[in-house]
Structure 1
Amino acid sequence: MPHQPDDWNMLDDGSAPNCEVEGAAASPVPIQGIRGRLTSQAPLAKLVWFKAGGPADWLFEPADAADLREFLERLDGELPVMALGLGSNLIIRDGGIPGVVIRLGKAFAGVTDLGDHVLECGGGASGILVSSSARDAGIAGLEFLRGIPGTVGGFVRMNGGAYGREVADVLIDCDVVMPNGSCIRLPVTDLDYRYRHSALPDGAVVVSARFQGEAGDPAVIGAEMDRIAQAREDSQPLRSKTGGSTFKNPEGRKAWALVDEAGCRGLTLGGAQVSEKHTNFLINTGDATSADIEGLGELVRDRVRAHSGVALEWEIKRVGRPT
């Protein structure tokens, strides 16, 4: 992490700026010197792909990594912490999120070519931005990130993957701010990567990561990215309110095929529906609650288990309080 001077939180006149606080509740931490935005009872539905779910008790949008560290140090583990990226692969339950949700903004979305075919990427950078930056720098091997609908922080945590590759194949290391405000650099070998799983603790926020590619022709890289984008467009309900792949693929099987074979294509519950286009996607048809969406997923799991004996595991993360 870059060094921050001792007076990083001072205005030109030597005073410390105050955090911008929205909402009626009292701040959970002293705000003097905190420069980000803190909102109580912050609506989250508009920030997630399903467009459903309750508010966060607190939403903190830090000004930069130093601001995030200072805020979490003051919080000192008193409240649970959860990072929020683009809001894909996520169900926020209707009762909302307890504690503090951290949302990384533009200060965390940079991508830098470090040379030797290595990209350093902020935790808020999207997969599209990372892969496009790699293409422009002539770095091959990161094209698959074009197919992951999320940010670096999310797909580093979940070992995101698409089209035959996953983050474990390209990650060198990542910088993580822990719930107590400390910042550590973790090599990929410390993350215990498995299928859609890492050893990162709850409340840890990935603020940057470095990915290793190889020399490539930008035209060839761009063509592969276009192929991936077209494949997603052709096979997935991208223009719907959805959350991405719902269930993990069991060993040697495809989740979508198991769902289809169990007769769940087009199945509905309230305002939620199993996609007709891709049966491993759930859709908010317009007025679904998160309870509708999660309940439909559980109904699908029950039917698949009854039909094939396979217990599908959720890939979509489900968080928050039920109503």
Structure 2
Amino acid sequence: METVDRDRVAEKLGELNFYWYPKISYRLETMFPRIDGFFINVQIRDKVDLVRHLEPLLGMMLLKKEVVLFLSKGSQSTLSDVFLMGSLWAESTLHTVIVFTNLRVFCIRTDRMGIPHKTFWSIYYSQIDEIVSTILGYTKICLKDGNNLWFSGFNKEAQQSMQCLVEEIGLEYRDKGFDPAVTQSQEQLCGHCFSVIPPNIYQCECCRATYWTPSEVGIRSFIFPSWGDIVMRHYALACAEFCGFLLLVLLTLIAFSEGKYFTGLAIFFIANLADAALSVQIATKGLHLKKIPKK
């Protein structure tokens, strides 16, 4: 894929009065592979806004001499996620920014505006077999351990950029024999100190930060549907579930008023159980910070 000259990109950004966080290095020619065309200024502004949301976090996460090559925002979900969780749940909880650096790839959960949460992962290029674009528009990242990451929302230009970077950096890795040891291809990172947390572990060994287990989230959602989403910091979804809970209480009371006690209790129990199952499904898709250590 052809890229533009770095100086031309810098000139274009200067024309639009965009300036960068000085502590982070960017490869502008891959960050903005196209600077001409219809609506390009809007696209550049959208990406710069996304970068500005992420820069405080990236300033803490990146190592010395680590350079940001490309980033884009999508949703880490598939048709099965939408079917099992519902479009509202999937769209509200699975927004993800993928960040390519010269060392690794970050997956960072965000809200719909791109403001980051405390849930993220890293992937070394040696752990990526290939990136595939499907006929339905999904982006599939095939990992060395056999797992596949599915994303929606990336346009063809972003998909091509990601494929080219994986080929370029992956080749450099192989030439240098750089293949760091990992616990899994997509490493979970601590939301407090950014250390690696192995699978099925809910306390960081480095800083002692703790995370909600799926069962803890599920029990809370069963008791009160919004509770599970609150502890996972999905506040918009918690508000929607609270409205649904009020409707559920109303239906239960109506059933009680008609003497249908078993029906009322069954409706209440089944609805809360279904919500708890959905919350567990969401909780298994990433670590959610519970408590950080005292200084």
TM-score (ref. length: structure 1): 0.27
More strand by share: 1
TM-score (ref. length: structure 2): 0.29
Q: Report which of the two structures shows the higher radius of gyration computed on alpha carbons.
A: 2
| Greater RCO (CA < 8 Å, at least 6 residues apart) | 1
More helix by share: 2
